[in-house]
Each structure stands twice: as structure tokens, then as C-alpha cells.
Amino acid sequence: MLEENDPIDLRKMLEEISVVGDRYRKMFAAPEVADAVKGIRAAAVQLSSFYDQARGALEPLLMSIQRMALREKTVELVTNAGWLPHITTPSALLALDMDTARVHQILSDFYFSEIDDVERQFMASVGCYDLDGQLTATFSEALQCHRHGCYRATVRLLFPEIERVACLEFYGGARKQKASLPKFADAVGRLTLGEFPQVEGPLQLYRKLEGHIYTKVQDDDAIRKATLDPVPNRHAAIHGLVDYNTMQNSMNALIMADFMFQLFSCLKKLSSEVPVEQPL
């Protein structure tokens, strides 16, 4: 071993390197080693081919996951701005780097200027419900209230219709003490992914249904909290505790009603699997 201050013999060093090189060349020239190297190379080729095939098979799945992640981030943008996600949400107009105020303005402008197309999409959704004609007529009237700026009327028209359909389709005709839709959120929470309606932002909509829409607003703190949320609360709306007088309030009510009617229709089809409460 060389010490730090020993002079370096360059010729001797090159001779040692040459000896080491000759030793490794002889080792790799041995038949058994050469065969092993060939096997390693063949395995590497097979692994490379497998990787290419796996990448080709997984690429559609990875792209789908990327699209889902992008949709989830878009839904987060929308909900952070105080709007509910829906098939009418103009995702193409939104960018992930937009601030909340910008997102809110884009959605407000869109729902105001594109009301004709928005109405058509709502009515197409209503046409897929397995529910009665009175619902279709009532939802159409709610859309007309919204179009003409009667935003309070939209909210106060939809909640009683939701309860009428719930009593008819979920509670077996019973009407007593059903205003807050007891056990409904639990039944929805038991639906599998395959059974759940195909909607935008299903988790966000369900959380709003379970934790906000039908909670009772009974004191000043609860009223203040409900007032700050642009999604109408049933108790606050029906009892006039919060003045839901904006276009955003009205549109959120329409979106939530569309979601709930889809749930009623879904549960109706699955009635053999989901117990239906019998009249008292």
C-alpha cells in the first residue's frame, strides 16, 4: 500500500493494471463464464421485451388514472369556489393554477350565459330517472324560476319535491317525520361503486348531503355557518332562516336535487337489496 508521501512508480502501476486486465480477460474467456454471460444477455433481452409489453398494456390504465386525478383536482377547484360539481360544470374553462375568485367568476359567467344548454342537460338527466311525471314537471318549473332570476323560489320549490319523492320511493308512502330524510344517507353510503350513479364528484356530493343539506339549523352559530355556505340547507331554506337569493344558491340547489333524484331512482331499482321502510 502506498503511503501518502511515497513517490509514485507509474511504470509499475501500469504493469499491475495490465496483469489485472489479463486476468479478467482469461476469466471471461472460460466456456462456463461465457455461457453465463450469454444467459444474462438473453434474460436482459427478455426482460426488456416484457417491460415494453407491460408498458403498452398499462399505458391506457395509467392515462385513465391521470384523467381521473385531473377530474378530481377540477372538482376540488369547483367545490372550493362554493359550487357543486355536475355534468354541466365547464371543466374545459378551468385551469389548476386559477385562484378561487377566478374560478367563481368563470362559473358564474358560464351558468348565466349558457343557460339554454344547461337547461337541456338538466332535463336530459331528469329524463333518465325512473320516477313519476310530477317530478319532471316540478323540475322544469324550478329551471324556469332559475332562468327568470327567482332564485329563492327555485330553492323552496325543490326541497318539498325531494321529500315527496323520498316518501313515495324510499319510505314506502310514509310521510310522518320524514322531512330530514332519516336513514337515507346511510342507505346511500351502503351503495357499491358499481351501484352508485355516474355523477361528477360523487364523494363531494355525498359529503354535502350527509353533513350539510339536512342538518338542523337551530341557533345563531348554526345560522351563521349555513349563511356562509352557498349550498342551501333544507331547514334554513324552508323556515326562512337564511335568504338563499343568489344564482349560485339556486344552481347548487338544482345540482343537489338532480343528484338526489338520481339516488332515489337508483335505490328504487335496487329495492330488492335495500330494505324499504314500511308505513307506520
The residues spanned by each domain of the chain are 114-269
Phi-psi region of 201 (alpha: psi -120 to 50; beta: other; left: phi over 0): left
pLDDT value for 196: 85
The whole-model pTM stands at: 0.75
Q: d(Cα 232, Cα 251) in Å, to the nearest integer?
A: 10
Question: Looking at residue 212, what DSSP letter applies?
Answer: I
Residue 26 has what pLDDT? 56
- Reading the block at residue 266, the C-alpha cell is 337508483
The SS3 call for residue 194 is coil
Q: b/e map of 172-206 (b: 16 or more CB within 10 Å)?
A: eebeeebbebeebbebbeebeeeebbebbbbebbb
In the prediction, which pLDDT does 177 show? 73
pLDDT at 191: 85
Q: Are 142 and 157 in contact (CB under 8 A)?
A: yes
pLDDT tens across the length of the chain (280 residues): 444 455 555 556 555 555 555 555 555 566 666 666 677 777 777 777 766 666 666 667 667 666 777 788 999 999 999 999 999 999 999 999 999 999 999 999 999 999 999 999 999 999 999 899 999 999 999 999 999 999 999 999 999 999 999 998 888 877 777 777 888 888 888 888 888 888 888 889 999 999 999 999 989 999 999 999 999 999 999 999 999 999 999 999 999 999 999 999 988 888 755 444 554 4
Sign of the dihedral through C-alpha 180, 78, 118, 200: negative
Q: What confidence score (pLDDT) does residue 178 get?
A: 74
Measured distance CA(256)–CA(258) in Å, rounded? 5
- Indicate the DSSP class of residue 171: S
